Amino acid sequence: MSNITLTTLLAHKRSGEKITMLTCYDATFAATAADAGIEVLLVGDSLGMVLQGHDSTLPVSVEDMAYHTAAVKRGNKGALVLSDLPFMATATLEQTYANCATLMRAGAHMVKLEGGAWLTEAVTGLAERGIPSCVHLGLTPQSVNVFGGYKVQGRGDEQAEKLKAEALALEQAGAAMLLLECVPSPLAREISQAATIPVIGIGAGPDTDGQVLVLHDMLGLSLSGRTPKFVRNFMQDANSINQAIENYAQAVKQGNFPASEHEFSA
C-alpha cells in the first residue's frame, strides 16, 4: 500500500470510494492492519478499556497515547496514523497545542479531538500550526457522565440541527475530518453530503465516507461480554485475524458494512 495521506482521503471522498479505519495500539497490529488494506489507524483512547481494563476512557493520559502512537508508528506500513487527545487534554488552548505536539512527535499524522463547536478556536489554531485535526461528534465517550451513559445523539429535529451546524462550523474552522459516533443514519447522511471533508462513521449508518470499529470489537473480543449494536464480528467467517481484518476492509469498500441491523433511527 502506498502512503495514505489527507490528499488520498479527500480523493476517496470525491470519488465515492469508502475509507477504511480501525483502532490500533501496537506495532504488530499496525503492520497487520496496513497489510490488510486499512487506510487509517486510529490510536484510540479506547485503549483505556480494551487494553488497560478501565470502565471508561477517562483514566487515559497523554503519556499513554504517546506511548501507543509511537508503537503503532514503528509497525505501520503506509497507513495514516490518527491519534486521540484523551480526557481534559484540550482544556485550554495552551494544553491543546502542547499535547498535540507530543502526539505528532510520537508519530501521529493527525490528531482527534472530542467535542463540539467550542473547539473551533483550537481547530483553527491547529490548522494554522500545521496539525490536521479530526473532530469526534455525536456520542463522545469522554462526556459519558454528561450524557448519562452511552446513548445515541442527534435524535429529534432540534438535536439534529445543532449537531449538523456544529459539524459544518468545525469544517469551516479548519477541521480535516469528522467522526460521527452513534448518530441516526439520516442525520449522518445529511452531514456527509453537506461536508466537503471526509466524514467517518461508527454506528452512523452506511452513508458516511468511511467506517471505523474498535479492533477488539470486530474480532469478537469483549471484557464486558456486551457487543454494541453497530459492531459485526468479522472473526466468525475468518480463519485468521489477518483474514478478519481483510474481510472488514473489503466489506467497507464494497458497501456491505454496516448493514441495516447496525443502524440507529432518527
Tens-digit pLDDT profile for residues 177-209: 999 999 999 999 999 999 999 999 999 999 999
Strands (E), the chain: 19-23, 40-43, 80-84, 110-114, 133-138, 177-181, 199-202, 210-213
The catalytic residue among 166, 171, 181, 246 is 181
Q: Is 46 annotated as a binding residue?
A: yes
Cα dihedral sign, 183-186-191-196: positive
Q: Find the mean pLDDT for residues 91-106.
A: 98
CA 124 to chain centre: 20
- Residue 117, SS3? helix
Q: Find the mean pLDDT for residues 205-219.
A: 97
The grid coordinates of residue 257 equal 458494512
Q: Find the mean pLDDT for residues 131-135.
A: 98
Q: Is 112 annotated as a binding residue?
A: yes
Q: Residue 144's pLDDT is what? A: 62
- Residue 177, SS3? strand
Q: Find the mean pLDDT for residues 118-133.
A: 98
Cβ-proximal residues to 57 (8 Å cutoff; 6+ apart), any chain: 45, 46, 48, 49, 86, 87, 141, 142
Q: CA end-to-end span of the chain, whole Å?
A: 38
Q: Is 114 annotated as a binding residue?
A: yes
Mean pLDDT of the chain: 95
**42 touches 11 (CB < 8 A):** no
Rounded CA separation 196/178 (Å): 10
* Whether residue 94 lies in the annotated active site: no
**41 touches 82 (CB < 8 A):** yes
Q: Residue 50's pLDDT is what? A: 95
Tens-digit pLDDT profile for residues 3-17: 999 999 999 999 999
